[in-house]
Structure 1
Amino acid sequence: MHLFCLASAQQLVLNLVSGLATALAVRLGVFEEQAHLGWNFVLFVWTPAIWGVLALARLFGGSGTLRARVAAAACLAGSAALILGLLQPYQAWYPRHDEDDEAEAGSRPRFELTQEATEAQPRLLAARLGELKPQRRGVVDLYAITFAPYADQDVFMRESNMVAGVMADRFDTRGRTIQLVNNAGTVGQWPWATPLNLRRAVQRAAKLMDRDEDILFLHLTSHGARSGHLAAEFGPLSVEQLTPRELKAMLDEAGIRWRVISISACFSGSWLAPLSGDGTLVMTAADADHTSYGCGRLSDLTFFGRAMYDEQLRTQTLSFEQAHAAARAVIKQREEEAGKDDGYSNPQISMGSSIRGRLDALQARLGTTVRR
């Protein structure tokens, strides 16, 4: 009994050392995915286990009794079965595609993550960034980036395209606009909407614009979470979710001084505080506690995108502030008529004291006459 306790204590120490070593190896990247039969797995996991089994078998077998020898044989047999099980090929389980989802999507194309599509993306991004025109001396230019990272619903792709069109037609951004879109239908047209591509687009715009004079416009459209994360989906591609602090860091690193940021997403009011600043205008489709509306599979545009851009800025005004104020009333009425049951989305706005002058200069250049 005394020897058994010593063997058990020795095994506990070995397991503790093995566990700590395994955790450190995983942290350092020593283990590779599915490399369960590699030398590293044997060293950190199998060796202590085999050592413990052999120690117990030696202990039982050396006692001389029949019962002890049977116990030793059982230990060895169990170990052999375990080893044979581990030697079997590793196979992971993946959920099958839901046919009901496919039927609901109708004729929407499905994204196939092929080698050709992957290799084409860097070239497409470089080409689109290369098409952006440089700033014009003495002219307040507006550079526009739209970001639609949620591929499962076409409403975000449509809103990205609509907002980009309004910016080009009404704010003279033609040749200074880039769309980043996750959608199977735009794979060959626009770069993917990933945080890394957004960072590259912001950096390219910063190099082309006069950062003391020009303005960067960003429109983000997707589902939103209370935590401030902007939903991203483009299966089977894995896309990280953008946060307001990550966006602010991108803009700060690029040295963008004048910023107009528009977020069309649920709970987007949570983006207001992290992004607000003296040289920044932030507009959201909702406050931090309510959902926005119109982001379903059957929607053409979100309620915010339609009222703010497709109606107000397209035909009524060149003032973002006036358009947002008018859109609030329209959105409230439409949400009530649609039966939105979780309260008014309550779109928010934050205007920095310094950027107002830049926007006034832009509006003066563009003229107050509405072009239809």
Structure 2
Amino acid sequence: MRSILPLAFALLALPAASAPQQPYSPPRHTADPPPGLARSTPQEVVQQADGGTQIERDRPATHALAEHRRLTRALATLAPQRKGVVDAYVLSVGLDSDPVFGREAREAAKVLALRYDAAGRTITLAGSDGKAPSPLPMGSPAAIEAALARIAELMDEKEDVLILYATSHGAPFGVVYNDGNEGYGAISPRRLATLLDAHGIHRRLLIVSACYSGVFVPILSGPQTAIVSAAASDRSSFGCLAENDWTFFGDAFVNHALRKPQPLGAAVTEAVAQIAGWERKGNLKPSLPQQSMGVDVQTWLAPLEARMPRGATQPVGRPSVDSLRGP
């Protein structure tokens, strides 16, 4: 009988069979919010949003340091402004961990950076895109405040421009921060206005993609401010299913209208008409996107639009209107 030792050694040399990898599952909202938030009165909720309240719970012991490092690396990539040039600084934020917001924030950053010549001056704060854990800093109130402070250090407030894109679920008191079952908070119009004014950031394009986001328009409007919201202050916006690639507003405004070499006002008009058509198709109550263009906006917008790419880029992702078809 032949020895079986050579066969045994050969089998031992083979790589061990690895267990099948489980598909990544992004964070989900399955637990009630912390008791302090759940028991808050409407007035207390507004006060918390005005203060930029953020609550974290049940985080791993290494979370805070890892998040600090992610944010530090991201802020370090921002380039200083160029004297004599109207530079745009793009801050694109997905405040909720539902992957639709992570995907939208990432692509909005690309579109806005290309449109407004902001390569090297763009930062994205967002959760997972649904494929893997996010390598980006979180879109939390604290991270937004740090990013705004760093941008303010680098920009010339009399020459340069902030372009802020925020996408999340919304409420009558502002935009909501919710990372799975661990992170909670909100930013109100008053809080955002306080931060921007404290940094002297008055030349700004603010784009808010959320339900009720019209609440930001009256408080943040100003002579040098352009602001566009996905909905009126008393209306919902649509397309925010976690599995979507875009919200209705993000798809119409960013993924289509802003990709074209047309003025901002024309892009808003195109997007509003597109959204209204989708809402009619789905028998949805109109979201009524809002806008405000300050009287001095053209002093910074005209130089930026003069440097826009001359050709359009192609939309990406699944059309948001497909969500009307159901599962």
Q: Please confirm whether the aligned pair reaches a TM-score higher than 0.5, indicating the same fold.
A: yes
1:74-103 CA distance string (max 9 Å, x none): xxxxxxxxxxxxxxxxxxxxxxxxxxxxxx
Task: Verify the 8 A CA contact 2:235 2:287 in the aligned structure 1.
Answer: yes
Task: Verify the 8 A CA contact 1:113 1:236 in the aligned structure 2.
Answer: no
Q: Secondary structure at the match of 1:273?
A: helix
1:124-166 CA distance string (max 9 Å, x none): 1111101101111211111000111111x21111110110010
Q: Secondary structure at the match of 1:220?
A: strand
Task: Verify the 8 A CA contact 2:174 2:215 in the aligned structure 1.
Answer: no
Following TM superposition, by how much is the alpha carbon of 1:296 offset from its aligned partner in structure 2, in angstroms? 1.4
Distance in structure 1 (CA, Å) of the matches to 2:312 and 2:230: 26
Distance in structure 1 (CA, Å) of the matches to 2:216 and 2:85: 30
Q: What is the aligned-residue identity percentage?
A: 35
Task: Verify the 8 A CA contact 1:312 1:323 in the aligned structure 2.
Answer: yes
Tell me the equivalent position of 1:364: 306
Following TM superposition, by how much is the alpha carbon of 1:371 offset from its aligned partner in structure 2, in angstroms? 4.7
Q: Which amino acid aligns with 1:195?
A: P
Answering whether residue 253 of structure 2 is matched by residue 308 of structure 1, we say yes
Answering whether residue 160 of structure 2 is matched by residue 218 of structure 1, we say no
Q: 1:333 aligns with which of 247, 263, 277?
A: 277
Q: Which amino acid aligns with 1:357?
A: T
Matches of residues 215-364 of structure 1 in structure 2 within 5 Å? 215-226=161-172, 228-314=173-259, 316-340=260-284, 343-364=285-306
Task: Verify the 8 A CA contact 1:317 1:323 in the aligned structure 2.
Answer: no
Answering whether residue 144 of structure 2 is matched by residue 190 of structure 1, we say no
Following TM superposition, by how much is the alpha carbon of 1:185 offset from its aligned partner in structure 2, in angstroms? 6.1
Distance in structure 1 (CA, Å) of the matches to 2:199 and 2:188: 17
Q: Which amino acid aligns with 1:174?
A: A
Tell me the equivalent position of 1:144: 90
Distance in structure 1 (CA, Å) of the matches to 2:278 and 2:107: 20
Cα distance change on mapping 1:232 and 1:220 into 2, 3 Å: same
Distance in structure 2 (CA, Å) of the matches to 1:240 and 1:289: 21
Task: Verify the 8 A CA contact 1:147 1:193 in the aligned structure 2.
Answer: yes
Task: Verify the 8 A CA contact 1:218 1:260 in the aligned structure 2.
Answer: yes
Answering whether residue 104 of structure 2 is matched by residue 159 of structure 1, we say yes
Distance in structure 1 (CA, Å) of the matches to 2:103 and 2:254: 12
RMSD: 1.9
Point out the structure with the larger strand share.
2
Q: Secondary structure at the match of 1:216?
A: strand
1:218-252 CA distance string (max 9 Å, x none): 011011112x2212211343332111110111111
Q: Which amino acid aligns with 1:339?
A: N
Tell me the equivalent position of 2:4: none
Task: Verify the 8 A CA contact 1:283 1:347 in the aligned structure 2.
Answer: yes
Point out the structure with the larger helix share.
1
